Each structure stands twice: as C-alpha cells, then as structure tokens.
Structure 1
Amino acid sequence: MDGKITALIMAGKRSGVLDPLAERAKVNQKCVVPVGGRPMIEHVVEAVSACDRIGEIRVVAHEPDEIRALPIVGALEAEGRLTFKEGAFNIVDSVFAGCEGAAYPVMITTADNCLVTPEGYAEFIDGALAVEADAAAALARKQDVIAADPQGQSKFYQFTDGGYSNCNTYWIGNANALSAAEIMRGGGQFVKFPSRIAKAFGVINLIRFYLGWGTKEKLFAQVSKRFGFKLTPVVMSSGEFAVDVDNERTFEVTERLLAKRAAKAG
C-alpha cells in the first residue's frame, strides 16, 4: 500500500486454555476483554490504523467473529485495509501464517499492547528503517518503565548499559528474516524460561545474557551472527510501551495509565 509497511496484530488464544482475564470478563478470548472501558484489541487497532507508516493490517486470530463485530475492525475490513488470518497452534507458527503473502517489511504487535500510540509505532518503524534492520525488537529502558508506573514490569533484561524491558513489538524486514520469529516461541517470556534463550540464541549468548556481559548492542550483534542477518534493538522513548495486559497486575496498571492519559487530554 503506497510503500507502507504491513502490520500483524497477534490476537490468538492459547490452545485449550481460557485466559483468566477473559473468564472474569465473561468473554471467549482475552483480546476482547474491556480495558479502560474498551476491548483491548480496539486500542491496538485504533493506534495501528492511525499510524501513517502502516498500510495493510492483518489480525491473526482463532475466533475472528468476536473481533470482527467491533465497529472499528468491521469498518477497516469493509474498506479492504484489514484482513484476518487464522491462528496456528503456537505464536511462532501463527506469525508464519500471518506473514504468508505479506508485503515486507512487517511489524508484529500483540492485541494486549493497549498503551502503544500511533506515534510509538511510528517511532519503532522509523528506528528499524534507520538502521536497515532485517529484524528488530522494541525495548524500553528500566528507568522509563518504572517512571511510567512502578508496578509496570517486575522483570528486566540486564545489560552493562542498563536494564531493559521487551515491548512485544517486532520487525521483520524481509522474508529471509522471518526465522527471527523463533524468538517469540513460547510467548517470548525469556526471563522466566532460560531454555528459550538457549534455543533461540545459543548457550554462549545465554551465559552473556545472565551474567550481564556486554551491552545490548553486543548481544544483539552476537545473535545476528547466529541467525545470519541483522537483528537490532530499537529503544523506545516511553516506558509505557513495555506494559501489556498479561495478568491482573498489568491490567490494573494499564487502566491507571489510560485514565491518566484521558485526564491529561481532557
């Protein structure tokens, strides 16, 4: 679409499990749980569609009808800008399915990224393009996340140049770089599951990661060497972008931050 990038919004369900937030809200899937009075995916679709760097929008979902019923989603689908792709058994295979036939570059985000703004997505896209990344991951500084809300994140990646948090937003610059999606296998919760870093990055990089050897750039350079293409960190300006709605704690944090934004805008 006029040289614009493709956005992939991951809105699938974990196989056979009803998310606790969805169960509490009495809905069939997490992505439509109301956050700040609106289904969480509505926040994401609104921000993605308002970003002028983004053309086609693909939503990867197992149960699209509940999502399609949202007015903004239905309107974008009717105008041909948004399409649905069927989710697979796990997030990585869902990414592969969502990227099939897509025009690159592709930006991947998740349906629970309620706090990322159109400007935030533009910042990430511009950052990835500026360094000519084959693949990239958005990170936020620890001090920025804590400044946004002290309860925003409980775990951080520690490098010699500081602590960082993942923003669940990724860049796939070309079809050859699609293998970088392996980084997200199992949900991307590397801090909790070291074996996932070892599998994706290699044991030496796992040791560097946990001992804090080197800067984030050094680690990403080593990972790039393993994958055979340029994988780059893009540091975001707002710590809010690292807060996604993953559990009751982050649900409450997100609602607080959305309320603050609304009060400031009003």
Structure 2
Amino acid sequence: MDNKFDVILLAAQRTGVVNPLAEAHGVSHKCLIPIAGEMLIVRTLQSVTSHPGCRAVHILIEPDGEAAVRPVAEEFARDDLPIHFIRSDSNIAESVLLGCKNGSPPFVITTADNVLIKHDCIDRAVRKLGEGADAVAGLANKDDIRAIHPLAQRGFYEFRDNGYANCNLYGIANENALKAAEIFREGGQFMNNPKRLITAFGLVNILLMRFKWVTIDGAFKRMSKRFGITMRRVPLSDGTQAIDVDNERTYKIVEAILEDRVADLKL
C-alpha cells in the first residue's frame, strides 16, 4: 500500500433538525460555524487537503447543506485533488459506505467538526493500515486528554489499562473492511446507549469492557474476531485529537487551542 488515501468527510446533520450549536451561532449547519476566524469545515479541509497523501475528498452532506458548503469547499479542489459531494444517508454507516463506493481505498474517515486533526495523526492511521490492519480507529487516553483541559471530555471508554476516547479518525484499507462500518450503524455515539453498544460489539465484549476485564488492545482483538477482519487501535498521545466541536463547552476549548497554536507560530 502506498501512502495515498481518499478522505471521507462526514458533514451532515439530521434531516429537518437544526443543530443547537449551529442555531446559537446563527448558521444552518454546524460545519458552517465560525471558530477563530474560519468555518469548522474550512479548518478541517485545510488540514486534510494540505496533507501530501490526500488524493480526493468525499463530503457526505444532505442537499440543502451542500448548497451552503460547496462554495467554500470547492476552493480546496485541485486538478490532482478533486472534491466530491455525496448525498448523505440518514444512517452514518450507510453514508460511510456511500463514500467508500465513490472513491478508492484506503480511506481516512473523519468529521467536519474535527478541526484539530493533525497530519502526523493521519500518518499514524495510514501507516497502521499499511502494516496489515483492515480497519483502524484513533484513540487518546484520558490522562493525555485531561492534560489539555479537565473538561475536554466528560465520558470515557474504561478498560483495564486506562480510559479512552475516540478521536473521530478512522481508516479502512479495503472492501472487506467495510464490515467495520457497522460500528457506525447505530449512530456511532455509544456512551449513553447500551443497546447500541451491544448491537455493535456483542454482549460478551460489552461485559468484558464494563467490568474492565480487558485492555483496549485486547478489546480490538475481540472486535476483529466479531467482524472477521483485522481491527487495530491507533494510539494518539496528543490529547487535542479527541476534542471536536460538539457543544458550547467544547467550542470554547477548541477555540482556545486554535488561538494558542497561532500564538505559538508567532513566537
């Protein structure tokens, strides 16, 4: 596998539902919210399209969202880096599958509000795919996340070795790995919904995690067996990678991080 990849960028919101944060900031879609002088989706596109390995971006969004996003997103298109718009499905798993069908593997999957995403973290995900993983997920541990801000995350997946949070950074190496898209089928957010957890991972695996009888890597091995593919964790020591813009609390935290980055560049 070379180091080239397609990006699947999830930017949709529920049909007919205005995101509360978008409403608070006076825009129709969360991805259009300005933060530190740029829209969320613009910041994420700046990061992924400036990566030398990115060969195409597939933006999953509903039609009314596309009308608002297309003008700003197309500014990042180049002859060697097309920007495609795909009508999103109401189910995240189906949206991921649509994006994969439109492009060529391997795929890096992220969200439009993941504005802190860094090149080296994408590199880690792509490298793990190149080492034989069919599907990967970036995770940071709670110590590194809390070191950035004590309120950056309020819930963690607790395992025997530590607590972890996902970084909205995933990778899929091949068509066989599309089985991993099932993880998204119930919405991808599991913390407060045991039924979603059981549907995605199986009751035995959930019990092992619930009672901290398994390490994070042990859990990935069990998930690999459940889905019949090789799933691996991408350890990310930068706690900022687990902080996306979900609400006003995380908006303010991310805004402060972005402002600190600009200040560091001026030093």
Tell whether the 8 Å contact from 1:220 to 1:233 is kept in structure 2 after alignment.
yes
1:134 is aligned to: 134
Give % identity: 37
The equivalent residue for 1:198 is 198
Match of 2:70 among 48, 63, 68: 68
**1:116-155 CA distance string (max 9 Å, x none):** 122322232223323x111111100111101111111011
The corresponding residue for 2:105 is: 104
Between the aligned partners of 2:15 and 2:75, the Cα distance in structure 1 is: 29
The alpha-carbon deviation at position 3 of structure 1 amounts to 5.9
1:173, distance to aligned residue in structure 2 (A):
1.0
Shift of 1:210: 0.9
Matching residue's letter, 1:37: G
Unaligned runs of at least 5 residues, structure 1:
none
Asked if the contact 2:166–2:242 (Cα under 8 Å) also holds between the matched residues in 1, the reply is yes
Contact 2:244 2:250 in 1 (8 A): yes
Question: 1 CA distance for matches of 2:138 and 2:129?
Answer: 9
Shift of 1:57: 1.1
Instruction: Name the counterpart of 1:237.
Output: 237
Number of the residue aligned with 1:118: 119
Are the equivalent residues in 2 in contact too, given 1:51–1:122 (CA < 8 A)?
no
What's 1:222 paired with? 222
Q: Find the aligned partners of 1:120 and 1:69 in 2 and give their Cα distance.
A: 28
Distance 1:263 1:127 in 2: 32
SS of 1:104's equivalent?
Answer: coil
Aligned mates of 1:173, 1:245 — CA distance in 2:
27
Q: What letter is aligned with 2:68?
A: E
CA contact (8 A) 1:86 1:98 kept: no
Q: In the alignment, does 2:87 pair up with 1:86? A: yes
Instruction: Quote the residue 1:34 is aligned against.
Output: 34
- Indicate conservation of the 8 Å contact 1:14/1:90, yes or no: no
Residues 86-108 of structure 1: per-residue CA shift (max 9 Å, x gap): 11112111111111142111111
Q: Aligned equivalents of 1:194 and 1:51: distance in 2?
A: 37
- Conserved in 2, the CA contact under 8 Å of 1:11 and 1:59? yes
SS of the aligned residue for 1:109 comes to strand
Q: Is the 8 A contact 1:220 1:231 kept in 2?
A: yes
Which residue of structure 2 lines up, in the alignment, with residue 8 of structure 1? 8
Kept in 2, the 8 Å contact 1:52–1:122? The answer is: no
Distance 1:128 1:143, change over 3 A: farther
Q: What is the CA–CA distance in structure 1 between the aligned matches of 2:121 and 2:259, rounded to whole Å?
A: 18
Provide TM-score, normalisation by structure 2. Answer: 0.93
Q: Report the counterpart of residue 252 of structure 2 in structure 1.
A: 252
User: Secondary structure at the residue paired with 1:143?
Assistant: helix
Amino acid at match of 2:86: K
* CA drift at 1:16: 1.9
Aligned residues: 262
Q: 2:28 and 2:16 mapped to 1: Cα distance?
A: 12
- Deviations along 1:209-241, one digit per CA (max 9) or x if unpaired, are 111111111111111111001111111121100
1:168 shift after superposition: 1.1
Once residues 3 and 152 of structure 1 are traced to their aligned partners in structure 2, the CA distance between those partners, rounded to angstroms, is 31
Q: Verify the 8 A CA contact 2:58 2:86 in the aligned structure 1.
A: yes
Normalising by structure 1, report the TM-score.
0.94
What's the counterpart of residue 208 of structure 1?
A: 208
Distance 2:186 2:248 in 1: 20
2:200 counterpart letter in structure 1: A
**What's 1:47 paired with?**
47
Alpha-carbon RMSD: 1.5
- Say whether the 8 Å CA contact 2:45–2:76 is kept in structure 1: no
Amino acid at match of 1:114: V
